[in-house]
Amino acid sequence: MSEALEADFVIVGAGSAGCALAWRLSEDPANSVIVLEKGGTDFGPLIQMPAAFSIPMNLNRYDWGYRTEPEPHLGGRRLAVPRGKVIGGSSSINGMVYVRGHALDFDTWEEMGARGWGYRHVLPYFKRMETSHGGEPGWRGTDGPLHVTRGTLRNPLYGAFVEAGVQAGYPRTADYNGRAQEGFGAMEMTVWRGKRWSAANAYLRPALKRGNVRLVTGVDVERVAFEGARAVGVETVRGGRRQTVRARREVILAASSINSPKLLMLSGIGPAEDLRSLGIEVRADRPGVGANLQDHLEVYVQYASRQPITLNAHLNVFSKAWIGAMWMFLGRGLGTSNQFESCAFIRSAAGVAYPDIQYHFLPAAVRYDGKAAAARHGFQVHVGPMRSRSRGSVRLRSADPAEAPRILFNYMSVPQDWEEFRTCIRLTREIMAQPAMEPYVEAEIAPGAGAVADAAIDDFIRDNVESAYHPCGTCRMGAEDDPGAVIDPHCRVIGFQGLRVVDSSIFPQITNGNLNAPSIMVGERAADLILGRDPLAASNQEPWINPDWQVSQR
C-alpha cells in the first residue's frame, strides 16, 4: 500500500456481506471499490474441502482467536468465538450449512423498527443470490452466484432420523428454505462440485475480474476517519506503515458482529461513559453499539451405534488421508460433504407460532475440534433453542486497536433458556426412541441415561453447551429515534454521513438457523440501498405456518 488508496466505496471486511457488496457495487463499471481484509488467501484443501471444516476454525491463520469472558451462568467457562480472518470471512471457516431463517424472523425485524426488511422484502433477495439445486420451485433462486446443494444421504442414518421425526408426529418438509421451514428433511449446504462455495468463491473472485474492485489483504483497520460528521475513509496499518484509505462516497463496515462495533467504538461512536473511561474522544453517544449481542447455543446428544456404519471409522489418520486424496485428485468421496445432510426445525410447545428448536444430524460421535467422542461407532444430533432471551455485549478492553475486545454473551442468564434446553433434550430422546432408530441406537452416550431430573440435565448443559458460532445484533438496525438502534433501515450509522454497517451485527433479533445466508442477503439488499436503486419488488408469497400452532406442539 505504498501508493495512495482511494475509491468510491471502501469495504472493511471480505466476509459474507462484504463479498456480496463488492460484487453488487461493482456491477456498474463507473463505481470503484476497495475491499480491506486482515486475513489472507483461502487457497488450499483445509478451507476448500467441505469435510475439513473443523480444522480452519481452530487455526490462528484463519481465525481471529476470540474467546468470551468467563460466562457467569456456565460455571465461568470461556467459550471460543471463531470469526473468519481470511478472504470469505466466516463463510470460509463455517460448517457451510445454508438456512435462510424463518419468514416470521424478518417480519419481527420490521416490527422492531427495521422498516422494509420484512419477509416480503427480503425473499426476493434470497432468490436473487441463489442457484438452488433441489429446492422448492417458485420459492428458490435459479441463477444467483451462490450455489446451494444437498448431500447424497447415502448413510442410512440420515433417512432414519427424518423417519423417526415423522413417526413422532412431526411434519416432513421438502425444503425448509422454501414455503415450510417446520419439519424434518434434508439439510442444505453451500457446496458446489465438491468444493466449499464461500462468499469469496461466489462473489469476490468474479468481482475482482471486473477491474474496478481491488482487494488488499493483511490490513489492520484501526478506526474510521471523519471530516465533521462525514466518514471519509479508514485509518489503516499494513506492514508497519500507516495510511488513510479514502472513500469518495461511502465507508462500509462489514467486519463482523465483533469487529464492526469494535471499530465504531474506536472511532468514538458508542457508549459515551465507556469511551471516555478509555480516553477515546466521543463523537456520538450511542449505547446500542456493542449491545444486544446474541448467539445460538447447542449441545450434542450422542448415541452409540449398533451398526458399524458411522463416520467414526474414518477419524483415524489413514482414513483422513484417503478421503483427502479422493477429494483432491478425483473430486469425489466423503470429502465433498460437510456431513450435515439431514435436519429438523420444530416448535417446543403449543402456543409457539414457528420453530424455535433446530437439529443438525451427524452420523458420527465427534466434537467440533474433530476428535472422537466415543471409542466405537456413534452418532449425534446437535440441538438448541433458536430464540434465547439472554443478551450480551462487545466492549473495548482498551483504546489500543490491537487488543481483542471484551466479549460476554451472558449465556443462559434467563430462566426460560434453561427450560427450553431441557425441552430440547427431552424431545430429542423421544424422537430417537422411535422405531426408525431402533436398529441403530444401542445406548445414549451423552447426556447419558442417568441424566433425567432437571438438575442433572442442567449440570450437563452447564458443562457441555457450546456456541453454534452465530453471533449477531451488536449494531442493531432500527428507527432513527430509537436510542438503542445503531443504524437506520438503510444501514446508515445514525447521525453520520457516508458510513454504513452491513453484516450480521445489524440483525435486530437472531434468525432461525445458521447465519451465513441472512448475512449474505443483508449484503445483497444493502447494495441496492447504497446505490439508490429501487428495491426488488416485494413478494406476495405466503409461508406455511402450522394452523394448529396455538393448541398443538406438533
What sign has the CA pseudo-torsion 438, 443, 445, 447? positive
378 is in an annotated binding site: no
118: left (phi over 0), alpha (psi -120 to 50) or beta: beta
155 is in an annotated binding site: no
Residue 305 in 3-state DSSP? Answer: strand
12 is in an annotated binding site: no
Candidates 102, 360, 470, 490; catalytic one: 470
97 is in an annotated binding site: yes
DSSP 178: T
Give the pairing type, strands 499-501 and 66-67: unpaired
Residue 25 in 3-state DSSP? Answer: helix
Asked if 133 is an active-site residue, the reply is: no
Closest CA to 12 of 262, 229, 203: 262
412 is in an annotated binding site: no
Query: Rounded to whole angstroms, how far apart are CA atoms 149 and 195?
Result: 11
Cα-atom radius of gyration of the chain, to the nearest Å? 23
Give 3-state DSSP helix, strand, coil % of the chain, rounded to 5: 30, 25, 45
Classify residue 317 as exposed, middle or buried by CB count within 10 Å of its CB (0-12, 13-18, 19+).
Answer: exposed
- Written in H, E and C, the secondary structure of 360-387 is EEECCCECCCCCECCCCCEEEEEEEECC
Give the pairing type, strands 188-189 and 195-196: unpaired
CB atoms < 10 A from the CB of 371, how many? 9
Which residues contribute to the annotated binding site? 86, 94-97, 221
Which residues contribute to the annotated binding site for FAD? 86, 94-97, 221
Q: Please give the positions annotated as active site.
A: 470
